[in-house]
Structure 1
Amino acid sequence: MDESDKIIAELREQNRHLQSQLNDTKNLLNIALNDSGLVLWEQDIPSGRLSLYNCEYGKICGISASEQEALYENWKSNLHPEDKELAIDAFESMIRGHSNEYNIEYRMVHQDGSTRWIKDRGTIQEYDRDNNPLRVIGTHIDVTQLRVDQHRLSKLAHHDTLTGLLNRHAFETEFNRFCQTIDANGGTLMFVDLDQFKPINDQYGHTAGDHILKACAKRIQDSCPEKAKAGRIGGDEFAILLPFSDTEQLEQQAKTLLDSFNQTHSFNHIEVSVSLSIGMCSFHRHNEEFNQILHRADQAMYQVKHNGKNNYALWKAPTPK
């Protein structure tokens, strides 16, 4: 073997070794990407060819390897109808050169019918002499569980854990938001207090009390008209924000709520009766103070308690002496 043959043999061995290292690196990268749930993709913009560097995309969408050959068309067809236009416009705006990257979250529909939330990011990596984009590389990850967790945390932050109604802070936020856009119909805060609840709680225990509270909260929520907001603002105290102030409507709403409590509540074969004392305060201004309106509705509610319970009253300003 002459010197040139030796050099060629050495180069071939080096090439074989480098190719082996490259394959090992690709395999490690593929394992890392699959374990992370991340899809790494690349698109040649002039040809439109979209390539994947791992197989997670098929798992996310539920499509086979053969279907991935028409990847871009499959991507578009699997987009959720409500997000389709937004996602396609964002992607095509980038590859037309309107921006050098995109970062978007959207929903995709899996072949099994379930919906997955996807976080998709892409960046232009190469341009031609005329500054037209040639190649884009991006990542694609399923963030469905993150969305579920965020929704759960948001619900915990804004909703009463026992009844599922808005908690006091969230109810006040809704009140303030409503006041900012209040119209000629005005609004009304309805303060609802459970009658006979403390004796039930004392006699049958907190487990029974919690069961009754949840059942009462459901009846209150089910009795609310469209666009009304219901919240639990204390132990056995609830509030409803109504988008109207007409007296006739309010009286009808109060009667509907009272009637929904005519039926007894059952717990461990025990039948208990709970009625309501309802106080209402209407308002019409953008700058109403939540605590003041709540206090007035509370005053009207205590008037009902004083007069025998199981009724409603509308707060009226004291007559000047």
Structure 2
Amino acid sequence: MWDILIYVAFMMLTGTCVYLLLENRTLKTLVTIREDENKTTEAFLETLLENMEEGVVACDVDGNIIYHNQAATPYVPLNNILDESQRSHDFIDHLGQPLSLDRLPLSRALRGESIKNVEIKSISKNDGTQSTLLMNGRPLNNIQAQQGGAVIVFHDITEFKEAQERMRYLAYYDALTELPNRHYFKDQAMNVLHNARKLGEQCALLFIDIDQFKTVNDTFGHDAGDQLLREVSRRMLDCIGDEGVVTRFGGDEFIILLDQTEEIAATQRAQSLLRAFEAPFNIKKTSIYVSPSIGISLYPRDGRTLEILVKRADQAMYQAKRQGKNTYAVYSVNQNT
């Protein structure tokens, strides 16, 4: 009765091979059951793909879209990924450069490349909405190991990138004044000093302390002091513009880093800052006058490291205070005594 040897390969789930001896009369039943199982598995996989947060797109060797799930729908061309006229989105890379069709991850996978964690930004042509996508993909090979197209899987990481940028902002910017903080200043100053050393240039560091700030705090309260610091920051930014980096170093102390600046230019900038403080600050409907005391140190004359330059600008600032405040002083060796 047992006269048929059937070789059945269960590749989908286990990848193993099983030999079965079956009677003739049971063959039709087995095939029917197997077809039903395949349909059930296919329906399950279809449901799984359609409910994924990740977008999935597959195309054939000619770039024709053969499958995409619901998450990928907003980004998918109507029919063909190689047809420029069908693009609903523009894409740019992590450096902000536009991505041409041949540089898109799916196009690269179609040429045989493996795509791993490629980050791109998508811009909708309809409303300008921007999204950041993380993409992985690879070519699709058939049973004969011949390329039959390509598949890409991507995830919208916009919220993650926004949270990451927010954390970076909090790490490098002062929450009260929105100026760069001392961590940002240190990184920026190291780059400036490196370039100055490499090119044989000078640069200047201005250490600023706000005169009468403690009196404002004690008289009008900390809210008024905070508002004053914000207004002081705005005036310094307006005065310096793009010519330097204004940072809040802590409390009522600020540092301004001026690249490619000699002593004459640094003192001129200090004079401009003094003039910027001549007008009163309107704090809680009250006109308040404060002034800066400014100390100046110069690279490389006064020091070749950031620590020394900050220390000597700080010493010069105290010299300005001893001279009556509301003025500036340039560091000199005599200030060490």
Bin the TM-score by the shorter chain: 0.7 to 0.9
CA shift digits 1:167-196 (9 cap, x unpaired): 222212211111111134310110011011
Find the partner of 2:137 among 100, 122, 127: 122
Percentage of pairs with the same residue: 25
Q: After superposition, where does 1:171-250 map in structure 2 within 5 Å?
A: 171-182=185-196, 183-250=199-266
Q: Does 1:267 align with 2:283?
A: yes
**For residues 239 and 127 of structure 1, what CA distance do their matches in structure 2 show?**
64
8 Å CA contact 2:58, 2:67 repeated in 1: yes
Question: What is the distance in 1 between the residues matched to 2:331 and 2:208?
Answer: 13
Q: Which residue does 2:50 correspond to in 1?
A: 30
TM-score norm. by structure 1 comes to: 0.83
Shift in Å, 1:235:
0.6
How far apart, in 1, do the equivalents of 2:325 and 2:335 lie?
24
SS across alignment from 1:239: strand
Report the alpha carbon displacement of residue 135 of structure 1 after superposing the two structures with TM.
2.9
Q: Match of 1:139?
A: 153
SS in 2 for 1:318: helix
Distance change (3 Å), C-alpha of 1:128 and 1:22: closer
- Structure 2 unaligned blocks of 5 or more: 1-22
Residue type of the partner of 1:230? V
Q: Is 1:310 aligned with 2:320?
A: no
In structure 1, the residue matched to 2:11 is none
Whether the aligned pair in 2 keeps the contact of 1:96 and 1:133 (CA below 8 Å) is: no
Structure 1 gaps of 5+ residues are none
Determine if the alignment matches structure 1 residue 149 to structure 2 residue 163.
yes
2: CA distance, partners of 1:320 / 1:169: 27
Q: Are the equivalent residues in 2 in contact too, given 1:191–1:237 (CA < 8 A)?
A: yes
- Aligned counterparts of 1:257 and 1:87: Cα–Cα separation in 2: 51
Look up the equivalent residue of 1:243 and give its one-letter code.
D
* Letter of the 1:126 counterpart: N
Decide whether the 8 Å contact of 1:87 with 1:106 is kept in 2.
Answer: no
- Measured in 2, the distance between the counterparts of 1:206 and 1:88 equals 58
Q: What is the rounded CA distance, in whole Å, between the counterparts of 2:314 and 2:101 in structure 1?
A: 49
Alpha-carbon separation, structure 1, partners of 2:42 and 2:28: 20
Higher relative contact order (CA closer than 8 Å, sequence separation 6+): 1
State whether residues 39 and 52 of structure 1, in contact with CA within 8 Å, keep that contact through their aligned partners in structure 2. Answer: no
Q: Kindly indicate whether the alpha-carbon contact (under 8 Å) linking 2:263 and 2:298 is maintained by their aligned counterparts in 1.
A: no
Sort the Cα spacing of 1:86 and 1:159 in 2 relative to 1 into closer, same or farther, 3 A: farther
RMSD: 3.1
Q: Is 1:69 matched with 2:108?
A: no
Cα offset, 1:228, TM superposition: 1.4
Letter in 2 for 1:245: T
Offset of 1:100 from its aligned partner?
3.3
CA pair 52-186 structure 1, distance change in 2 beyond 3 A: farther
SS in 2 for 1:233: strand
TM-score (structure 2 length as normaliser): 0.79
**Structure-1 separation of matches of 2:41 and 2:49:** 12
Structure having the higher strand fraction is 2
Match for 1:114: what amino acid?
Answer: T
Equivalent pair of 2:316/2:335 in contact (CA under 8 Å): no
How much has 1:17 moved relative to structure 2?
A: 5.6
In the alignment of these two chains, the number of paired residues is: 306
| C-alpha distance in structure 2 between counterparts of 1:153 and 1:319, whole Å | 40
Equivalent residue, structure 1, for 2:13: none
| Within-5 A mapping of 1:105-116 | 105-110=119-124, 111-116=126-131
Q: 2:17: which partner in 1?
A: none
Q: Aligned letter for 1:25? A: L
Q: Which is higher, the Rg of structure 1 or of structure 2? A: 2
Q: Aligned-pair distance for 1:268?
A: 2.2
Aligned residue in 1 for 2:294:
278
